[in-house]
Amino acid sequence: MKSAQTYQVFHRKQLDKIPQVRSLSAEVREAINVVSAVLPFRVNNYVVDELIDWSRAPDDPIFQLTFPQRGMLDEQDYERMRALIASGAEEKAVKALAQEIQVGLNPHPGGQLEKNVPSLAGEAMRGMQHKYRQTLLFFPAQGQTCHTYCTYCFRWAQFVGIEDLKFFEKEAAPLLRYLKKHPEVSDVLFTGGDPLVMRTAILSRYIDLLLNSDLDSLRTIRIGSKAPAYWPQRFVTDPDADDLLRLFERVVASGRHLALMAHYSHPAELETDIAKEALRRIVATGATVRCQAPLIRHVNDRADDWAKLWQMQVENGAVPYYMFVERDTGAHHYFELPLARAYEIFSDAYSQVSGLARTVRGPSMSANPGKMCIDGVADIAGRKVFVLKCLQGRKPRWSNQVALAEYDTKAVWLDDLKPAFGEKNFFWDRPEEEILHDAASQRHQIWAAEA
């Protein structure tokens, strides 16, 4: 199949411009229109023409991954929005109802607003998050959209037009000032949205400033992106594709590690020739591609798909990194699986690949205390338990600690679990371990004391 070269994006009001959508049933088309009035929808012609098997729609996994589904909204909310749209209401009224629904969808899980936003000279840095000691997340304003939106996206609140819900920073100078004040930061992650929707010239302004500054503590630059899956032309045929690769080479030449955190959700995203060529070109710059994605019902809830995906990543020079658990936000009720089932899928897939693909970790929850992994299921003293492991902790001393939780076939998130053997609390929520809410200054004192 010929790769799409001309970049074309479709939004909710442009559904009729997609020929394949016109062939879907009226019920499916209505669902796309209604749900996309509440949750963000955006798709490009590469995904439409090359990644979706329309003969399988609406059950095709990439269709489920990119086109809104009726089950993503509570039935009552769906009916309210459907009736409002059918009545011919003005867009202002549609947006008002959408915002009412959105507020109830837990737009910022895991303490992102309350505990992750740092401050500098008493000012909150709303374009950054600093949850883990060594790693700072930076949200460049020009990168707060994506080539195509994933229906499961836990950062959906960035895209719905509510300014108070957004993380973004328009300039690189605050980032530089913060890094100079916090030498404990060794890694900066450019995230979004997707930083690689930006033209290379704009992205370079941010990265070159870091490279040309006296920042001996900065060891790694990470870029979180779905572009290798959703628009591989970004690295191959786009007008500034070569400039982007030269930027990657400058990072590597500076002595820093460059990690492209690539989001691959399904093997179909790596099966096209241009997707493989994109990976080849990225790896040739000296960058490392680390691959991660959540386990999503309707999309990739088969062990064979994960095993195939990890193997394809290794074959194309990338490193399997994380299998995440769907976060408790947005339409998670449609996509989530029980943690017991997630562990079964992970273990089955893990057993199918060689050691080179077993760099992957999971199933991992990016929860309030940190990245908490279901590391095993064990029988202890006649009781079945989950073995939890903290891969990365909000407090450094939590990292690599383990805890035992009662085995629960219905639990879908960390908050659903109870400590095993009659314990009252897990190690991260004991009274003496209470997480400080005014973390911006006090957290750094804790880190300094624990270093």
Cα gap 44→51, rounded to integer Å: 11
Cα gap 315→171, rounded to integer Å: 38
Q: Which helix (H) or strand (E) holds 292?
A: strand 288-295
Q: What is the pLDDT of residues 61-101, one digit of tens each?
A: 999 999 999 999 999 999 999 999 999 999 999 999 999 99
Cα gap 155→152, rounded to integer Å: 9
140 contacts 151 by C-beta, under 8 angstroms: no
| pLDDT score, position 16 | 92
| pLDDT score, position 122 | 87
Q: What is the mean pLDDT of residues 135-151?
A: 94
In sequence order, which residues have a C-beta less than 8 Å from that of residue 328 and are 6 or more positions away?
Answer: 106, 109, 336, 412, 413, 415
Tell the burial category of 131 from Cβ atoms under 10 Å away from its Cβ (0-12, 13-18, 19+): buried
Give, as one character, the DSSP assignment of residue 48: I
387 contacts 378 by C-beta, under 8 angstroms: yes
Q: What is the mean pLDDT of residues 165-190?
A: 90
Would the pLDDT of 438 be above 70?
no
DSSP secondary structure letters along 366-411:
E-SSEEEEEEEEEEETTEEEEEEEEEEESSGGGTT-EEEEE--TT-
Q: What is the mean pLDDT of residues 141-145?
A: 90
402-406 and 383-393 beta bridge pairing: antiparallel
Cα separations in angstroms, 289 against 140, 226, 294, 310, 314: 21, 12, 17, 12, 10
| pLDDT score, position 435 | 44
* Residue whose pair of structure tokens reads 């449609």 in the numeric block: 334
Percentage of residues in the chain with pLDDT exceeding 70? Answer: 92
| pLDDT score, position 125 | 86
Q: What is the mean pLDDT of residues 210-238?
A: 97
| pLDDT score, position 163 | 65
Cα gap 222→371, rounded to integer Å: 18
Cα gap 388→401, rounded to integer Å: 8
Q: What is the pLDDT of residues 354-378, one digit of tens each?
A: 999 999 999 999 999 999 999 999 9
DSSP secondary structure letters along 240-276:
THHHHHHHHHHHHHTT-EEEEEEE--SGGGG-SHHHH
Peptide bond into 355 cis (omega under 30): no
| pLDDT score, position 166 | 67
Q: Kindly give the interhelix angle for 91-103 and 75-86, rounded to the nearest 10 degrees.
A: 170
pLDDT: is 156 or 330 the higher one?
A: 330
Give the pLDDT band (50/70/90) at residue 449: very low
Q: What is the pLDDT of residues 295-328, one digit of tens each?
A: 999 999 999 999 999 999 999 999 999 999 999 8
Give the pLDDT band (50/70/90) at residue 158: confident
Peptide bond into 58 cis (omega under 30): yes
Computed over every residue of the chain, the mean pLDDT equals: 92
Q: How far is CA 314 from the centre of its chain?
A: 21
What count of residues does the chain have? 451
| pLDDT score, position 121 | 87
Cα gap 40→339, rounded to integer Å: 27
Phi, psi for 416 (deg, rounded to 5) = -80, -15
What pTM does this model have? 0.92
> What's the one-letter identity of residue 44?
N
Ranking 162-176, 195-209, 219-233 by mean pLDDT, the lowest is 162-176
Q: What is the mean pLDDT of residues 411-421?
A: 97
Would the pLDDT of 1 be above 50?
no
Q: Which domains are seen in the chain, by residue range?
A: 9-103 (no CATH), 119-450 (3.20.20.70)
DSSP secondary structure letters along 114-182:
TTS--EETTEE-TTEEEEETTEEEE-BGGG-S-SS--TT-TTGGGGSS-GGG---BS-SHHHHHHHHH-
Percentage of residues in the chain with pLDDT exceeding 90? Answer: 82
